[in-house]
Amino acid sequence: MFIFNITNIVTVLLLLAATVLLIFLAQELKRSWIIALPLFFYLLLLIMHSTQLFTLSAENSNLSGTLASCLIVDLLFIAMTFLAFLWVDDIEAKAMNKKSIDNSLDWFWKDL
Residue 25 lies in a domain: no
For residue 102, the model assigns a pLDDT of 60
Structural domain including 85 reads 31-109
Distance set, CA 99 to CA 3, 29, 53 (Å) = 41, 18, 40
| Total of domains in the chain | 1
Residue 3 lies in a domain: no
How confident is the model over 41-59, as a mean pLDDT?
87
Residue 103 lies in a domain: yes
Q: How confident is the model at residue 86 (pLDDT cuts 50, 70, 90)?
A: confident
Taking a C-beta distance cutoff of 8 angstroms, is the pair 46, 71 a contact? yes
How confident is the model over 70-98, as a mean pLDDT?
89
Query: What radius of gyration do the chain's Cα atoms show?
Result: 17
Residue 84 lies in a domain: yes
